Amino acid sequence: MTDTTIDRDKLRDIYTRTMRVARADEKFRSLLMTGKLAVIYYTVRGQELVSAAAMAALEPSDYLVTTYRGQHDQIAKGVPLNPLFAEIAGKVGGTCRGKGGSMHITHPETGVMVTTGVVGSGLPIANGLALASQNRGDGKVTMVCFGDGATNIGAFHEAMNMAQLWKLPVIFLCQNNRYGEHTAFADHTKVDSIVTRAKAYGMNGVKVDGNDAIAMYNTTKAAVDRARAGEGPTLIEAMCYRMMGHFFGADFSYMPPEHLAEMAAEDPLPRLRQLMLDHQFTEAELDAIVADLDAQMDAAAEFAANSPLPGPEEIRKDVFEEEIAA
């Protein structure tokens, strides 16, 4: 039975992480809207809370593998904003010196080891990180995030089987946002729930409302504790919504009106705000958190704008350990 209570500090932590994701996304869309930034951008609107609650259950040293639609995961895990903004802008001050971009954010200091641009590819890699932890006995847990669309690629199935076979300390977090690119869940998958696939591998599987902060946190925490105790992997299916198109500016008229209405009603941001008020946080307290975050966003955008562009010599660096001769 999943715990239904939560500690107030943890709730504040989840709120701050959620709003950091939300305000960063808002800032990016603003920069894109005015043409200050002209890059491909995958908005995470609607999935702020699911990853904030999940990452709040991890230690900073735990590993994370995510996808090109994983900016919420990276920010919630703790990637600092200045290099994140600069990386998305393709600047030298970015996490990857502008060589990865939004689709390949990497920041080992906060455990963000891989952001893959290929759907499903993160799962086998997560197993390897977890395998290293298992052999070392370092107690770290690896979380890999992906969407419902990733569960139909072979890598998902190979990785699930291997993880359970070796009882790896890994958590497969499927953020089921009900769309794989432009294709609705029912049009790409015949089972009702992704979590039923855990059974096929003898794996622990849990389905949770990803927009319920307490349930999401407690479900993840239970999976993390289990993995850390050597009891093996868990597949979590967290239900959520992708509230905008696949990428910035994309048409999403293919989403039926009843889905859009359902989505609006389930918006995690007002829901979390209400939960905070129910837990005796004041409006002023919450507003102060957001105001502080907004100042950080402005500073990050400024940092990114002022960071220099990478020079052409970067092409010869990091191909191999030794630089390639000019």
Nearer to another protein, 8 or 36 (CB): 36
The window from 1-9, 98-106, 178-186, 225-233 that contacts another protein (CB under 8 A) reads 98-106
Task: Report CA-CA distances (Å) from 59 to 4, 124, 146.
Answer: 21, 21, 20
Q: Residue 130 interacts with another protein (CB under 8 A)? A: yes
When binding is defined by CB under 8 A, the residue of 47, 95, 204, 220 that contacts another protein is 95
When binding is defined by CB under 8 A, the residue of 53, 55, 84, 114 that contacts another protein is 114
Strand partners, 172: 144, 235
CA neighbor of 74 nearest in space, from 37, 93, 40, 100: 100
Angle ∠(72,76,80) on CA atoms, nearest 5:
100
CA neighbor of 55 nearest in space, from 191, 148, 165, 175: 175
Nearer to another protein, 130 or 203 (CB): 130
As a whole number of Å, the CA-based R_g of the chain is: 19
φ, ψ of residue 12 to 5 degrees: the values are: -65, -40
The window from 3-11, 127-135, 280-288, 293-301 that contacts another protein (CB under 8 A) reads 127-135
Grouping H, G, I as helix, E, B as strand and the rest as coil, residue 79 is coil
Interface with another protein in residues 19-38 (CB under 8 A): 30, 32-38
As a whole number of angstroms, the distance between CA 170 and CA 226 comes to 10
Interface with another protein in residues 292-321 (CB under 8 A): 317-321
- Would you give the binding string for another protein spanning residues 190-219, x where CB under 8 A is met? ------------------------------
Question: DSSP letters of 243-307?
Answer: -S-SSTT---TTS-HHHHHHHHHT-HHHHHHHHHHHTT--HHHHHHHHHHHHHHHHHHHHHHHHS
Nearer to another protein, 39 or 269 (CB): 39
Q: Residue 171 interacts with another protein (CB under 8 A)? A: no
Q: Residue 151 interacts with another protein (CB under 8 A)? A: no
Q: Residue 88 interacts with another protein (CB under 8 A)? A: no
Q: Residue 228 interacts with another protein (CB under 8 A)? A: no
When binding is defined by CB under 8 A, the residue of 167, 248, 259, 260 that contacts another protein is 248
When binding is defined by CB under 8 A, the residue of 98, 147, 180, 210 that contacts another protein is 98
CB 228 within 8 A of CB 169: yes
Counting residues that bind another protein (by CB under 8 A) gives: 61
CA neighbor of 240 nearest in space, from 178, 186, 192: 178
Give the interface with another protein as residue ranges (CB under 8 A).
Answer: 30, 32-40, 63, 65, 94-100, 104, 106-108, 113-114, 116-118, 121, 123-135, 142, 154-155, 158-159, 161-162, 165-166, 247-251, 317-321
